[in-house]
Structure 1
Amino acid sequence: MNKTEKSGFILIVDDNPTNLSVLCEALNSEGFRFRVAVDGESAIAQAERNQPELILLDVQMPGISGFETCRRLKANPLTENIPIIFTTALADTESKTKGFFLGAVDYIPKPFAHEEVIARVRVHLQLKKLTESLEEQVRDRTTALQKAQVQLVQQEKLSTLGELIAGIAHELNNPINFISSNIPPLQEYLAGITYILQLYQKDYPNPTAQINTAIKDLDLNFVLEDLPKILSSLKLGTERIQHLSNSLRSFSRSDSDAKLPADLHLGLDSTLMVLQHRLKANSDRPAIEVMRCYEKLPMVNCYIGQMNQVFMNILANAIDALDEAIIQGKIKDGIPQIKIATEINAEQWVVIRIADNGMGIPERIKQRLFEPLFTTKPVGKGTGLGLSIAHQIIVEKHQGLLKVKSQPGMGTEFTIKIPNIQE
């Protein structure tokens, strides 16, 4: 008797004591474990409670027939994959065809021959084991393929996004540097011109009529007061664009070959800057409030470009959730909010929590959030890869944890935990 035969049991279904005795003796002599049911109803109940490896099912029984019992077992997800061998004295082709049509794998004719019973039982148990092994291999290879696809997509997206944003930042930098570098001398020139004009007004208090008309048309005094303000605005604008350019460059860092010490707060802020246009008020909703509750964090060894992509995916999902909640009128007080909190926990791991006050996620969807290609968004609105990529980056690339806490009506919170390992 081998181990595979010990792992499960065979269910014998027959109302005839003689048939039961013969089958039980045959199986027992070969070391097979078995149980007995005397009608179809009890066989179905037993199989649902504890699935057997194989069922030997009599065709002609009181109550529901063996054919009906087989149909019900095959219609039940709990029992649909259990092999069924009919035991019957019916030898006509029509009965056999009906049994195979209902899902049976074989027939054992009555009266039983000991060797035939054992041979057929062994063959179908082995076939079941082989089928299960093959299915497991297919599942494993499918999972591995999906992981590889997600990783390739993630790397390609990160590389393309990084190149695109770095290119934009570079293109912004040149004209902004040109403008910002020319503002100081322009301020100096305008201050000098203003001083000279004031001297002219002092030494020549009675200008010609033509000059008086020009001064009045221009409103010279106002212009002289307003020019410094305009220059200050230009300076402030260029500083803001330079900050955006720096944020874009920070966000686009790939660092794919090695982990480097990084300021995760800078990564979060850079990502928020990239998403700023989506956070602003629009025709459907007010601006999304972003609350930063940052505690002091150390520099963390990580792939900062990939971490920024995680922040991007989670924050973009939060914005999508808030947009949807606003449309359905399911945000408390009507104010969409995203809260970002950071801390070092007792185990010295870096913890980042990103929460929104949207509609929340039903349990059936929450269980599948990190599956590749799973999405609840309409066609063209989502690939189903964002959270799967985020999970892969956090768990596999950084040996961290990515968890989600949510329930309908209570919003959603993603928690990222990264071990602060100094390499």
Structure 2
Amino acid sequence: MDNIMNKSDIILIVDDNPTNLGVLSDFLDETGYEVWVAKSGDMALQRIEYALPDLILLDIMMPGMDGFETCRYLKDKTQTCEIPVIFMTALSDTESKVKGLNMGAVDYITKPFQQEEVLARVKLHLKLYKLMRQVAEQNQTLEKKVQERTFELNQMVEELKTMQVQLVQNEKMSSLGQMVAGVAHEINNPINFIYGNLEPAEEYIENLLSLIEMYQLYHPEPDAQIKAYREDIELEFLREDLMKILSSMKVGATRILEIVKSLRNFSRLDESEIKQVDIHEGIDSTLMILQNRLKAKPERPTIEVIKEYGNFPQVECYPGQLNQVFMNLLANAIDAIEECYSQDSLAKVQDYSGKIWISTELDNSDEVKIKISDNGKGMTEKVVDRMFNPFFTTKPVGKGTGMGLAISYSIVVDKHVGKLECSSKVNVGTEFIIQIPIHQKSPTNSQSNVELEENNQLLNSKSLIQ
């Protein structure tokens, strides 16, 4: 049984004495080992270039490269440093033995040889060498498994975090969606009624004013009571101002209708499937909703928006989700500009003018490129590298979930098979580039589009209700 088990074990004997080589090789071969021989250290090193033995029996006293030098070379090489080396020597002094062991030898065999001792030491160190290799392999396998498991667990943690946020957002979105739909509906009906009646009201008032003019023409001298009342109500001013009031009412009603239209166009709660839409409508609707944040405030002037729209056909996309991306990027741009005003000195603020640039163009004839840039605070390279990670935010606690850009990235890259890239420089500004194909392929995402849209639209909801 031992012979069969040892047949694959290779022993290299290095000795310049042919007699020692013959005795040891014959004995070990009969025991069941595969034996290689070398008559010098140089020959031994040449031999191991082609194949590695499991154990080396190495003579110390050899001409040319002696055993110590040969051992040092073996231990310096990564491929051979772990192979057990047993020195064979007639030297019995302690100093030589210590020197050999310090160089990495595992044992000594003293000449003349005792076959039983040689066999016992060879078996022992082969067994130890095999055990050591097994332990190393098991450690490597275990390390790999631990790394794989750790990676899987980290992935699961990130997925659970994302799911947790999305569940919370979904719950909030349900009530927010109902509120937006309800508000839009409740405003839309009465404002349509008001707007629709403004024109006939204007016509009726003009008729009444014309009638008053006729009375004045045919009765230039009214009774004292009528004359006094005409002066009290300032009839001439009233006639002039009434038409201005009607014009203002018409402008206000038109503005409300535009806001309602923008709310419905922005949310698109009824459009969860891929549709062909005008990208510029979505951007304009988002800007309309953010108008309150863009206009001048006591601490800063109006944030200027510069638009450069290109000409291209309608784009196949998920309108509500893409509008949410515009909302996230534009709201972040406003935040960055406002941070400049809040941190800089008064003199610097007076010379500073916050601007947002929005440009669109056709790229490679089958893609749309949308650039949104600002001259706000800017970000460091370290922040840019992490900005699309879930839950990463540089905003104070309570002012950001850290999911806005992560979900925006998911919408553009995963849902629209596009690209979302960012470049930024501190105290210069930031630019986001969105690239999406004009025509979308069939969706493969198993999650329902309605659920995704609800999850994504809620982020930055403060900007919506402001």
- TM-score, normalised relative to structure 2: 0.65
Mapped pair 1:166 → 2:184: no
Give a deviation string over 1:150-208, Cα, whole Å, max 9, x none.
66566666665544333222121122112112212211221121122112112222211
Aligned residue number for residue 407 of structure 1: 425
Query: Structure 1's 145 and 277: CA in aligned 2 closer, same or farther, altered over 3 A?
Result: same
Mapped pair 1:398 → 2:416: yes
Q: Is the 8 A contact 2:416 2:440 kept in 1?
A: no
Aligned residue number for residue 406 of structure 2: 388
Query: Structure 1's 249 and 238: CA in aligned 2 closer, same or farther, altered over 3 A?
Result: same
Mapped pair 1:219 → 2:237: no
Alignment of 1:282-361 (within 5 A): 282-329=297-344, 333-361=351-379
Q: Is the 8 A contact 1:331 1:357 kept in 2?
A: no
Aligned residue number for residue 15 of structure 2: none
SS at match of 2:305: strand
Q: Percent identity?
A: 44
Deviation at 1:130, TM superposition (A): 2.0
Aligned residue number for residue 56 of structure 1: none
Q: Which of the residues 195, 206, 214 maps onto 1:199?
A: 214
SS at match of 2:356: strand
Query: Structure 1's 384 and 234: CA in aligned 2 closer, same or farther, altered over 3 A?
Result: same
Question: Take 2:350 and 2:408, find their aligned partners in 1: how far apart are those partners?
Answer: 28
Higher mean C-alpha deviation, range 297-306 or range 223-232: 223-232
Question: Take 2:239 and 2:340, find their aligned partners in 1: how far apart are those partners?
Answer: 51
Deviation at 1:143, TM superposition (A): 4.1
SS at match of 2:386: coil
Mapped pair 1:419 → 2:447: no
Deviation at 1:228, TM superposition (A): 1.4
Q: Is the 8 A contact 2:272 2:320 kept in 1?
A: no
Aligned residue number for residue 133 of structure 1: 148
- Structure 2 regions of 5+ residues with no counterpart? 1-7, 9-66, 83-101, 107-124, 442-466
Query: Structure 1's 200 and 265: CA in aligned 2 closer, same or farther, altered over 3 A?
Result: same
Q: Is the 8 A contact 1:252 1:305 kept in 2?
A: yes
Question: Take 2:398 and 2:408, find their aligned partners in 1: how far apart are those partners?
Answer: 20
Deviation at 1:326, TM superposition (A): 1.3
Question: Take 1:161 and 1:290, find their aligned partners in 2: how far apart are those partners?
Answer: 28
Q: Is the 8 A contact 1:362 1:407 kept in 2?
A: yes
Query: Structure 1's 420 and 200: CA in aligned 2 closer, same or farther, altered over 3 A?
Result: same
Question: Take 1:125 and 1:170, find their aligned partners in 2: how far apart are those partners?
Answer: 65
Deviation at 1:229, TM superposition (A): 1.6
SS at match of 2:231: helix
- Structure 1 regions of 5+ residues with no counterpart? 2-16, 37-60, 62-87, 89-109
Deviation at 1:255, TM superposition (A): 5.2
SS at match of 1:367: helix
Deviation at 1:147, TM superposition (A): 5.0
SS at match of 1:308: helix
Aligned residue number for residue 35 of structure 2: none
Give a deviation string over 1:380-419, Cα, whole Å, max 9, x none.
1100010011000000000000000111122000000011
Question: Take 1:245 and 1:254, find their aligned partners in 2: how far apart are those partners?
Answer: 14
Letter in 1 for 2:415: K
Deviation at 1:149, TM superposition (A): 4.8
Letter in 2 for 1:268: I
Query: Structure 1's 418 and 149: CA in aligned 2 closer, same or farther, altered over 3 A?
Result: farther
SS at match of 1:352: strand
Question: Take 1:300 and 1:407, find their aligned partners in 2: how far apart are those partners?
Answer: 31
Deviation at 1:316, TM superposition (A): 0.5
Question: Take 1:193 and 1:333, find their aligned partners in 2: how far apart are those partners?
Answer: 54
SS at match of 1:298: coil
Question: Take 1:190 and 1:393, find their aligned partners in 2: how far apart are those partners?
Answer: 53
Give a deviation string over 1:291-327, Cα, whole Å, max 9, x none.
1111113111111000110000000000000000111
Question: Take 1:35 and 1:153, find their aligned partners in 2: how far apart are those partners?
Answer: 58
Question: Take 1:243 and 1:415, find their aligned partners in 2: how far apart are those partners?
Answer: 28
Deviation at 1:140, TM superposition (A): 3.2
Q: Is the 8 A contact 2:304 2:355 kept in 1?
A: yes
Deviation at 1:141, TM superposition (A): 2.7
Question: Take 2:71 and 2:150, find their aligned partners in 1: how far apart are those partners?
Answer: 36
Query: Structure 1's 235 and 331: CA in aligned 2 closer, same or farther, altered over 3 A?
Result: same
Aligned residue number for residue 365 of structure 1: 383
Give a deviation string over 1:113-147, Cα, whole Å, max 9, x none.
43443343233223212212211222333344455
Q: Is the 8 A contact 1:251 1:270 kept in 2?
A: yes
Give a deviation string over 1:238-284, Cα, whole Å, max 9, x none.
11111111111100103564200111100000000111110011121
Letter in 2 for 1:352: I
Letter in 2 for 1:121: A
Q: Which of the residues 235, 254, 261 maps onto 1:239?
A: 254
Query: Structure 1's 343 and 34: CA in aligned 2 closer, same or farther, altered over 3 A?
Result: farther
SS at match of 1:290: strand
Deviation at 1:332, TM superposition (A): 9.4
Structure of larger gyration radius:
2
